[in-house]
C-alpha cells in the first residue's frame, strides 16, 4: 500500500515560509514582490488556474495583478503590454497563461518576456541555462515535482531508473532534465513509444504527464515504484482526476501523489517562490 504524498501540505509549508518573509518586508516598510498574470481569452481551465494563482498571492500578501484580455487581442498589443511590464521596476514576475489563442505565436510571446522576470521559466534563455545546470528560473511544475521527491526522505535519485510519460515543454522535457541532473537514468516515453508498459514497469520513479484520465493502471507499475501524477483531468462524471488510476496504483506503488492535492498546489507554490527570488534579484 503506497504512502500518499500530499503536495498540498508541502506547498502549505512553502507558502507559510514565504508569507513570513513578506510580513518582515512589510514591517520594514519595503516594497513587496509583485507578480503580473496575463490571460488572453476565456478558456475555462485557464481562468480557473489564473484565479488559483491570484488567490495564492493574496493568501501570502504578494502584490498581484491579473490582466484579462479579450480573445481577439492582437499579438502586437500583447507584446506591447509585456514590454510595458518588462520596463516597470515595480514588477518582478510576468506570467502569460498558456495556451494562447491560435492567432498568437506562443514562442514570440515567450521570447518577449524579460528572462529576469520569467518566473514560469519558459524563456529560451532560462531553458538553456537549465539544460546547462546553471542557476535560472526553473519551470514551476518540474521544480515542484523535484521538491516533492526531495521530501520523500529515503529517496536518493542517483542511479535510479526514472521514466517520464509525456514530452511537453512545460513538464515532460524539463522534468527529464532535472532528474538527469540528479543522476537518475532517464527515459522519456510518449504517444509514439512502442511497448510503453515494458518501459514503465522498469521505473523506480514514474512521472506521468499525458492528460488522459486514469490512463496508467497497476500493470504499468513496478512494485514499490514512486509514482508522480501530473495530470489534471475531468472524468465522465466531471470529477477531477489524474492520469493515474489512483485506487489501483496505490496498491502497488511505494509513494503516490493524488489529484487533486498533489502536484497542482506545488506548481503554484513554486511560482510564488520564483517570484520572491526574482524580487530578491531585482532589489539587490
Task: List interacting residues with ligand GUN (CB under 6 A).
Answer: 95-98, 120, 140-141, 170, 267
- Any residues with CB less than 8 A from the CB of 22 and at least 6 apart, and which? 32, 33, 60, 61, 62, 276
Residue 69, exposed/middle/buried by CB under 10 A (0-12, 13-18, 19+)? middle
- SS3 category, 205: strand
Beta strands in the chain (DSSP E): 3-4, 34-40, 63-69, 93-96, 161-165, 185-189, 205-208, 226-229, 233-234, 240-241, 255-256
Smaller CB separation from ligand GUN, 110 or 203: 110
Contact status, residue 170 vs residue 143, Cβ threshold 8 Å: no
Smaller CB separation from ligand GUN, 209 or 249: 209
Q: What is the closest distance, in whole angstroms, from the C-beta atom of residue 105 to ligand GUN in the complex?
A: 15
Q: What is the closest distance, in whole angstroms, from the C-beta atom of residue 38 to ligand GUN in the complex?
A: 9
Smaller CB separation from ligand GUN, 94 or 157: 94
Smaller CB separation from ligand GUN, 96 or 199: 96
Catalytic residues, by residue number, are 53, 97, 120
Q: What is the closest distance, in whole angstroms, from the C-beta atom of residue 96 to ligand GUN in the complex?
A: 6
Cell numbers at residue 90, please? 515595480
Q: What is the closest distance, in whole angstroms, from the C-beta atom of residue 50 to ligand GUN in the complex?
A: 9
The alpha carbons of the chain give a radius of gyration, in whole angstroms, of 19
Angle of CA points 206, 121, 211, to nearest 5°: 40
Amino acid at each position: 500500500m503506497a504512502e500518499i504524498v500530499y503536495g498540498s501540505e508541502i506547498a502549505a509549508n512553502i507558502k507559510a515560509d514565504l508569507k513570513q518573509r513578506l510580513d518582515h518586508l512589510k514591517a520594514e516598510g519595503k516594497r513587496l514582490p509583485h507578480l503580473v498574470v496575463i490571460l488572453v481569452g476565456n478558456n475555462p481551465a485557464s481562468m480557473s488556474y489564473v484565479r488559483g494563482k491570484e488567490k495564492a498571492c493574496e493568501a501570502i500578501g504578494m502584490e498581484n495583478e491579473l490582466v484579462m484580455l479579450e480573445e481577439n487581442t492582437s499579438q502586437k498589443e500583447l507584446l506591447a503590454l509585456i514590454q510595458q511590464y518588462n520596463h516597470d521596476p515595480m514588477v518582478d514576475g510576468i506570467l502569460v497563461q498558456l495556451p494562447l489563442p491560435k492567432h498568437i505565436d506562443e514562442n514570440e510571446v515567450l521570447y518577449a518576456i524579460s528572462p529576469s522576470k520569467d518566473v514560469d521559466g519558459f524563456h529560451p534563455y532560462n531553458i538553456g541555462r537549465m539544460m546547462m545546470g546553471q542557476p535560472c528560473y526553473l519551470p514551476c511544475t518540474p521544480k515542484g515535482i523535484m521538491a516533492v521527491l526531495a521530501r520523500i526522505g529515503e529517496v536518493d535519485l542517483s542511479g535510479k531508473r526514472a521514466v517520464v510519460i509525456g514530452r511537453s515543454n512545460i513538464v515532460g522535457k524539463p522534468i527529464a532534465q532535472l532528474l538527469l541532473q540528479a543522476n537518475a537514468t532517464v527515459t522519456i516515453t510518449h504517444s509514439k513509444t512502442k511497448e510503453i508498459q515494458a518501459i514503465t514497469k522498469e521505473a523506480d520513479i514514474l512521472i506521468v504527464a499525458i492528460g488522459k484520465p486514469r490512463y496508467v493502471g497497476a500493470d504499468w507499475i513496478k512494485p514499490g515504484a514512486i509514482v508522480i501524477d501530473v495530470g489534471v483531468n475531468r472524468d465522465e462524471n466531471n470529477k477531477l482526476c489524474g492520469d493515474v488510476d489512483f485506487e489501483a496504483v496505490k496498491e502497488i506503488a511505494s509513494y503516490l501523489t493524488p489529484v487533486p492535492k498533489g502536484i497542482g498546489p506545488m506548481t503554484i507554490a513554486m511560482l510564488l517562490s520564483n517570484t520572491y527570488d526574482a524580487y530578491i534579484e531585482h532589489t539587490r
